[in-house]
Amino acid sequence: MTGVEELTERQAARLHRAFQREQRHGIVLATRARLVALGVLLGWVLFLDGKATDPLPYITLSLLAAIGLGTWALSRTRWFRPWMLFAAVVLDHAIITAVMAAPITVGDEVVPQALALHTVWFSSFFVFIAGAALAQMPGLVVFSGVAAALCWSVAVLWILNQPGTYAMSQPPLWGDRPAAEVVRLMTDPHAVDLSGWFSQVLFLLLVSLTLAAAVKRSRTLVATQVATERERANLARYFSPEVVDKLAAKDSPLAHPQTRTVAVLFADLTGFTRLCENAAPEQIIDLLRGFRQRMEEAVFAHSGTVDKYIGDCVMATFGLLSPSARDPAAALACARAMQVAMQDWNRLRRAQGLTPLGLGIGVHYGPVVAGDIGGDRRLEFTVVGDTVNVASRLMHLTRELRADIVISGEVAEAARSVDGETALAGFSRLEAMSLRGREGLVAVWSRRLPEAAAPTAAA
């Protein structure tokens, strides 16, 4: 089994567990709905039978309530299994069928059995089919409809075979009969209307299939929504809220490798290695959390993308999704904002008696290749290419040049063309220099805050 297949299976298992939780919540809701419906039926029975001469309806309603409460109680235990819901459906419909098959008495007199087919019990089938839909199981809804149709058919056939009961002629044969004859047959308490029975079975099945389709669609919508929210949550780890909205509005914007011109920024803590020598693990984790939180706030504030974190280093890109002429200027503004955030953080650290930290930032602008990189078990969307390598080298130059921000000539020219000379305030142009592992010279600009502690090579 490949890593992708394992990941798919784990996602399916998580979704299955989520639906199981929803099914248990649905059982609770179905139990409440059942008790309310049975309470209404009890009130109706009391209204029709004020003297409570027939105990059967009250026994029936009590049994149906007990089945609902028993199913709810089982659903809260480790012994619960989904098949128990199907068993409860069978019990519900079987009890209703048994009630219709029982003799009907008014006072001390037994009335024709066929009248049982005109009582409220047939309508109760729909109540229990609707209750099955609340369990979020399409199969259970269909099963409930089929079970109701079969139980209703059993009741009709049972009554049809009782003495004095007969089947009413079918509607196609009524054409030659007088209207009075048709009315007499339809109102005969001993007649069983087979066409009505067929229609009722048909409606039971249609209602259950319609509800099952609604439940299926609901499950699909939930699964889609869960997947969408998970994707948005994952995107929000790397992109600003505005960029996440743009991504969500597009169909697979990152599906295939692409070449794009972007600004790449690397920011690395200086002094972190030395600090880790004597710091407790909790302090190191807290420091990294504080660093990453501040860096991503600056990146997102300038519509950038957090490409990755590498220990105490962050890599960000600008213009990956929606390239514009402002991307280098945005990256440069982000670098300034990062340094301001570090100054504020260092003031807080000094007040707490902690060692201040430095930050070295390198920025370059040029073409990159963007796409998913990795194996079956782990994929990472990132950018690669010479532009990335140059930005990383410029970041390392901050130690050698005793600067806090080092940018390439491409960034400087592009930012100046957008924001004018103010974009390079505080920066000095240096002689073009070669970078480790790369042929040719690179035009370099650097900036050093007077009050900032100069980064050292040992950091």
**Nearest CA among 322, 311, 326 for reference residue 365:** 326
Q: How many CA atoms lie within 13 A of 66 on its CB side?
A: 8
**Nearest CA among 328, 345, 442, 333 for reference residue 396:** 442
- The pLDDT-based confidence of 220 (bands split at 50, 70, 90) is confident
- Which of 318-327, 342-351, 369-378, 400-409 is the least confident region? 369-378
For residue 174, being part of any structural domain is answered with: yes
318 and 205 both lie in a single domain: no
Is the pLDDT at 15 greater than 70? The verdict is: no
75 and 222 both lie in a single domain: yes
Is the pLDDT at 189 greater than 50? The verdict is: yes
204 and 269 both lie in a single domain: no
152 and 228 both lie in a single domain: yes
372 and 228 both lie in a single domain: no
211 and 279 both lie in a single domain: no
421 and 351 both lie in a single domain: yes
Question: What's the CA gap between 102 and 96, in Å, rounded?
Answer: 10
Question: What's the CA gap between 345 and 289, in Å, rounded?
Answer: 12
Residue type, 179: A
302 and 258 both lie in a single domain: yes
**Averaging pLDDT over each range in 96-105, 189-198, 352-361, 432-441, which range is the top one?**
352-361
The secondary structure of residue 188, as a DSSP letter, is -
**Nearest CA among 200, 91, 191 for reference residue 153:** 200
For residue 10, being part of any structural domain is answered with: yes
324 and 420 both lie in a single domain: yes
345 and 424 both lie in a single domain: yes
How many other C-beta atoms can be found within 10 angstroms of the C-beta atom of residue 27? 25
Number of structural domains found in the chain: 2
- The pLDDT-based confidence of 345 (bands split at 50, 70, 90) is very high
272 and 185 both lie in a single domain: no
For residue 247, being part of any structural domain is answered with: no
- Name 38's Cβ contacts closer than 8 Å, sequence gap at least 6: 61, 64, 65, 68
Q: To the nearest whole number, what is the mean pLDDT of the chain?
A: 81
Label residue 77 exposed, middle or buried (CB < 10 Å: 0-12, 13-18, 19+). Answer: exposed
pLDDT one-digit tens code per residue, 371-418: 766 555 555 667 888 999 999 999 999 988 889 999 999 999 999 999
Q: What are the residue ranges of helices labelled H in 161-280? A: 179-187, 194-236, 241-248, 272-276
- What is the bridge-based pairing of β-strands 379-384 and 358-374? antiparallel
Find tokens 């970041």 and name the residue.
395
| pTM greater than 0.75 (yes/no) | no
Is the pLDDT at 454 greater than 60? The verdict is: no
336 and 280 both lie in a single domain: yes
Q: Domain residues for 343? A: 254-447
pLDDT of res. 440: 81
